[in-house]
Structure 1
Amino acid sequence: MAQGGVNIFYIINIMTFSLNDKHILVNYHYVENPNDKNSGTHPCSVEEFEKHIGFLSKHYKPASISGVFDEAQKNSSEKYYSITFDDGLKSQYKNAVPILEKYGAHGTFFPIGVTSEGKIPTTHKIHILLSFISSDEFIDFSNKFLKNQFSENSSKYFISKDRRISSDRRLYEDIPTANLKETFVSLPSNVLEELVNSYFETLNLDEKECCHNLFINEDEIKSLEARGFSIGNHTYHHHTVNTLSREALKKDIKKAQSYFVGIVSRPQVVFCYPHGVVIDEAVKIVRDFGFTNAVTVEMKGVTSGDDPFRIPRYDRVNIRDFLKINVTV
């Protein structure tokens, strides 16, 4: 089942959002106003988030993930939407939840279990680092680190600042940033983890403190459930499913389930694939665990022919781009 070490970025099918979509899920990560301390996270501002929810509530009725999916299977003429939040970030709790409550919107949150131990997944460490340093600085450090620690592969993974690695992807990003991400895609996961941890130490960043500030805690998870929101399973360690053996993935999902049983009263029935990577074996495992639905990062509306374990979600950028063009809706 393991298919290499890639576990940070992914390729997704992108479609343009339209009001012709009758049943939709929309996903968010960081919801906070941009500042010099979060530039690496590319957050959705609080004002923009409220604009999105106000727009969606005007044109759609709120529902849970299963509610939206069930209506789509019936080809319902009624329009429904639901909001999802990956990773269980503190900004979602502080900034998004009050807006959801204001508009009566339903949200499903997918926290990462390992953050309860004060540990930050590699993906989020990269977000943090890029909020402290430029892509150019990260490239310089990466090239030096790989040359010193993995000299046999340093030339293979050398990151250029002036020539694009890919001529057809990430064209909306500047060359250094695009090349940095393209290289991280190809790095073995253990090498990438060691590189990122080394830079964390170089900058004297306290992982536990950063984790406390970035992710929701158990009391906040309990509060979300008490306020009527749903909690889903996003695995315990946030590893991409195609990098794990069958048994390792089962163990990681089970550990997340066991952890949340002690926090929330209702069982987790919805699963979210880390980094949006989906393979057939993982779908079978998720189904066997008794989940009723699982969501992906395929950007399109939910339709009657969709698999309940491969439910698509629009990203907030799809709503943002739609509203830029359709300013009067």
Structure 2
Amino acid sequence: MLTVSNYHYIREDFTSQYPSIFGLTPESFKRQLIELQKIGKFISPKELLENTDEIVNSKQNYLLVTFDDGLREQFEIAKPILDDLKIEAMYFVNSINFIEKQVSLVHKIHLIRSQVSPEDLMSNFLKSTFKSKFELPEIDKKKAIEHYNFDDVSSAHLKYCLNFKLTINELSIAMNDLFNVYFDSKETVNNLYMTEEYLKILAQENQLGSHTHSHLALGLLDVDTIGTELKKTKEYLEKITQTKIEMLSYPYGNEASYAFPVPDIAKKVGYKLGFTMERGKNNGCEDKLLLKRFDCNDLVTGKNYKNSL
């Protein structure tokens, strides 16, 4: 069987004016890896790619580490820890950060929310052209609190509006205006994401994969746009690294991100393995382009860990 643990932010300090960016410290990351070593055997991405059937159908618990979003801290902080432990990982990146030098929308949201309170953001949006989208009826307020049960009420209402009420275009417009008030886009791109040199190193070590071009939920897009999102990153990475890119992780990883016909298009484009964020171990019953992953918080030492996993 195959157990996959996925990570995003790995940094020394997560303090900010308002909580919105969450992850593991290097110490917590290393501690989890050491504990995982006790319950399974880590494999490399190359081993998985070359022996997928054997690994997922095995009674032995094989482990794989993955990272989404191509963040600089993953290479500069997490990778040295992995190297010391002789563990290889898979790093999935978005090409929009490199080709267009743009900050991904998901990170704009994280960064803005780290500097502006949810109350002030709601107040701002209620004065904007999107006012009606942020005037939640009581039934939606209840849904928001139920869906984001780990958040305070104000944060739950805000996140519900952003994620369920606005279209992608509306969300982009709203966030772009705010982002430019608080952040310098060029500086953020340089500080937040890996360099092309880092990508080349990972590719030579068979540890580089695609997270699509723009970090959008693919299943909500039209067929042509899905194809473009999948091809653009693959072609860009293969061109600059002179290696094959055959592994993919779907942004957000929920059903909306990999709904039909996304896996079929991914296969036609040339991907062999794809990763969702559907929780669970892989035991051979899965489509190879719809492999399951755990968020690191769901596994041993994680804040949501349950012994039943």
By the TM > 0.5 criterion, same fold?
Answer: yes
CA distance in 1, matches of 2:16, 2:137: 26
CA distance in 2, matches of 1:287, 1:201: 38
What is residue 119 of structure 2 aligned with on the other side? 136
CA contact (8 A) 2:297 2:305 kept: no
For the pair 1:260 / 2:240, whether they are aligned, the reply is: no
Shift, 1:219, TM fit: 0.6
CA distance in 1, matches of 2:273, 2:230: 14
CA contact (8 A) 2:125 2:134 kept: no
CA contact (8 A) 1:295 1:311 kept: yes
Shift, 1:23, TM fit: 2.2
CA contact (8 A) 2:273 2:291 kept: yes
Shift, 1:165, TM fit: 4.2
User: Which digits, 9 at most, give the CA deviation of each residue in 1:11-68, with x for residues without a partner?
Assistant: xxxxxxxxxxx52010000111233349421121111100111111232211135258
Q: Which amino acid aligns with 2:125?
A: S
What is residue 291 of structure 2 aligned with on the other side? 311
Once the two structures are aligned, what percentage of the paired residues are identical?
25
For the pair 1:192 / 2:171, whether they are aligned, the reply is: yes
Bigger drift between 178-187 and 107-116 goes to 178-187
What is residue 178 of structure 1 aligned with on the other side? 156
For the pair 1:97 / 2:76, whether they are aligned, the reply is: no
What is residue 246 of structure 2 aligned with on the other side? 269
**TM, length-normalised to structure 1:** 0.83
Secondary structure, in 3 states, of the residue corresponding to 2:14?
Answer: coil
CA contact (8 A) 1:269 1:291 kept: yes
What is residue 251 of structure 1 aligned with on the other side? 228
CA distance in 2, matches of 1:199, 1:159: 21
Change (3 A) 1:172 1:40: closer
CA contact (8 A) 1:57 1:103 kept: no
**TM, length-normalised to structure 2:** 0.88
User: Which digits, 9 at most, give the CA deviation of each residue in 1:64-98, with x for residues without a partner?
Assistant: 35258434443x23221010000100111111101
CA distance in 2, matches of 1:324, 1:169: 19
CA contact (8 A) 1:69 1:302 kept: no
CA contact (8 A) 1:33 1:43 kept: no
Q: For structure 1, which runs of at least 5 residues remain unmatched after alignment?
A: 1-21
CA distance in 2, matches of 1:235, 1:311: 16
- Number of equivalences: 295
What is residue 60 of structure 1 aligned with on the other side? 40
Secondary structure, in 3 states, of the residue corresponding to 1:232?
Answer: strand
CA contact (8 A) 1:125 1:196 kept: yes
Secondary structure, in 3 states, of the residue corresponding to 1:250?
Answer: helix
Change (3 A) 1:139 1:323: closer
CA contact (8 A) 1:159 1:180 kept: no
Secondary structure, in 3 states, of the residue corresponding to 1:213?
Answer: helix
Shift, 1:173, TM fit: 1.1
What is residue 295 of structure 1 aligned with on the other side? 275
CA contact (8 A) 2:69 2:92 kept: yes
Change (3 A) 1:191 1:36: same
**CA RMSD across the alignment:** 2.2
Q: Which amino acid aligns with 1:219?
A: E
Q: Which runs of 4+ in 1 moved over 4 A?
A: 322-326
CA distance in 1, matches of 2:20, 2:197: 27
Change (3 A) 1:89 1:160: farther
CA contact (8 A) 1:29 1:87 kept: yes
CA contact (8 A) 1:233 1:272 kept: yes
Q: For structure 2, which runs of at least 5 residues remain unmatched after alignment?
A: none
